Amino acid sequence: MARVLLFGRLSDIAGWHERDLEGDSLFALRARLAEEDEALGQALGGPGVQIALDQEIVRGDAAVTARSEVAFLPPMSGG
């Protein structure tokens, strides 16, 4: 279980911004989301989507716990 956050167009596609989800790794969470929502799954696998675990960008997979915060971040644009 982890707290999952979606930002930018990802939350528009999914129709939610934040929820709790079962899964013991980043890739397991992503696979779970893709299973539930094909359009979201495709968007999560799209170019430039990064994952932050407890507010640090992580490259590759990592273990998550019930207290983890996992954020899926599409390409960023400020200014």
**Which residues of the chain form contacts with another protein (CB under 8 A)?**
5, 7-9, 12, 48, 52, 55, 71, 73-79
> How near is the Cβ of 7 to another protein at its closest, in Å?
5
Query: What span, in angstroms and rounded, lies between the C-alpha atoms of 47 and 21?
Result: 24
C-alpha dihedral over 3, 55, 28, 17, to 10 degrees?
A: 50
The residue whose two tokens read 């992503």 is 30
> How near is the Cβ of 78 to another protein at its closest, in Å?
4
Between residues 65 and 77, which has the closer beta carbon with respect to another protein? 77
**Residue 52's Cα: distance from chain center in Å?**
8
> How near is the Cβ of 72 to another protein at its closest, in Å?
11
